[in-house]
Amino acid sequence: LQTRLQAGQGYGNTLKCVLTVYRNESLAGFFKGMSFPLASIGIYSSVVFGVFSNTQRFLSQLRHGDPAAAPSLTDMTLASIVAGFISVGIGTPVELVKIRLQMQTQPYTKGNIKLNSTIPGSPVYRGPIHCLRTILQKEGIAGIYRGNVAMLLRDVPGYCAYFIPYAMFCDWITPDGSISPNPFSIWVAGGVAGAVSWAVCTPMDVVKSRLQADGVYLNQYKGILDCMLQSYQNEGLKVFGRGLMVNTIRGFPSSAAMFLGYELSLKAMKRFQTETNA
């Protein structure tokens, strides 16, 4: 829904988008392009969380001489920025393939366009591997990283608004005297962090989605600034809020589960290590 609302045409509001997708593509339409993200989400999340926590530990060691020392706001901000930069290298190709697969049946309305044997509204890619191979053959490595600048501008502030609110909210709702937050506190703090993060980065997410969806049939945008300018001229400022409700609603449960899984896994591994050493 997020991709259709941000880069598609004629979907209107969220409810209309849901009904349109279901009417035209049945339930399968809601799961288009998900195989590639599902196959890579474990690697992506482990890298992002690993980079963040290890950068934070490195900074604590550098500043305080103890990697386990409580990180400062500056440390968390720097660690979030580093995680945001690293995430783009892994995430851009995955996002590109997902968006191309989701948008390839979107009717193209501009007239007098020669598309060889491709008919607007008909599938261009047979699956994620075919999509990746086709983009590589036609556009090279640069094509695989289409929209990477927009994704960088989305993820760097997005991860700052992800990890920092999580740490602050988790600390706020954890009872005094507790050594570590309980699972419910982690779940709530993670959900709030996810919703806040998506609220912050939705405007640039719209630009990224449009740049990556562009190119299924032909290129409409010359770059990130041109995409922003055309979008604003055609639809006004409201265009940069497209998909905001969907992003924030999905951001809560997904991030809540992500942080809960991360924290519980860390506790389990530390307990196992302690028992092994003993």
Q: Are residues 161 and 253 in the same domain?
A: yes
Average pLDDT over all residues of the chain: 83
Is residue 8, in this structure, part of any structural domain at all? no
pLDDT tens-digit map of 205-242 = 999 999 988 876 667 888 899 999 999 999 899 999 98
State the pLDDT at residue 217: 63
Q: What does the alpha-carbon distance between residue 153 and residue 47 come to, in Å, rounded to a whole number? A: 19
Q: What pLDDT is attached to residue 8? A: 65
pLDDT band at 83 (very low <50, low <70, confident <90, very high): very high
Note whether 89 and 110 are same-domain residues. yes
If asked whether residues 236 and 271 sit together in one domain, one would say yes
Residues 125 and 94 in one domain: yes
Residues 135 and 58 in one domain: yes
* One domain, residues 155 and 272: yes
pLDDT in tens, 43-70: 888 899 999 999 999 999 998 888 888 8
Residues 162 and 244 in one domain: yes
Q: In the prediction, which pLDDT does 11 show?
A: 64
Label residues 81-91 b or e (16+ Cβ within 10 Å = b). Answer: bbbbebbbeeb
pLDDT score at 243: 85
Residue 203, domain member (yes or no): yes
pLDDT greater than 60 at residue 86: yes
Question: Is residue 255 situated within a structural domain?
Answer: yes
Q: For 147-200, how does the pLDDT look when each residue is reduced to its tens digit (9 = 90+)?
A: 999 999 999 999 999 999 999 998 888 777 677 788 898 999 999 999 999 999
Q: What is the CATH number of the domain that holds 164?
A: 1.50.40.10
Helix and strand counts by DSSP (H, E) for the chain: 9, 0
User: Is there a contact between 96 and 144 (Cβ–Cβ < 8 Å)?
Assistant: yes
Same domain flag for 159 and 267: yes
In a domain, 54, yes or no: yes
Q: Which residue has the higher pLDDT, 208 or 103?
A: 208
The identity of residue 32, as a single letter, is K
Boundary (domain end) residue, out of 125, 143, 161: 143
User: What's the mean pLDDT in 78-88?
Assistant: 95
Query: Residue 126 is part of which domain span?
Result: 33-143
33 compared with 110, residue with greater pLDDT? 33
Report if residue 265 sits inside a domain. Answer: yes
189 and 241 part of one domain: yes
**pTM: predicted TM-score of the whole model, two decimal places:** 0.81
Q: Are 231 and 204 a contacting pair, CB within 8 Å?
A: no
Is 222 within the bounds of a domain? yes
Residue that is last in its domain, among 143, 174, 201: 143
36 has a pLDDT exceeding 80: no
26 found inside a domain: no
At position 134, the amino acid (one-letter code) is T
Tally of domains in the chain: 2
Q: What is the pLDDT of residue 43?
A: 85
Query: Is the same domain home to 197 and 271?
Result: yes
Tell me whether residue 5 is in a domain: no
Check whether 105 has a pLDDT greater than 80. Answer: no
Residue 120 has pLDDT above 50, yes or no: no
Domain boundary among 143, 172, 190: 143
Percent of the chain predicted with pLDDT > 70: 78
Residue 253 pLDDT > 60: yes
Tell whether 153 and 244 lie within a shared domain: yes
Query: With 50 as the cut, is the pLDDT of residue 77 above it?
Result: yes
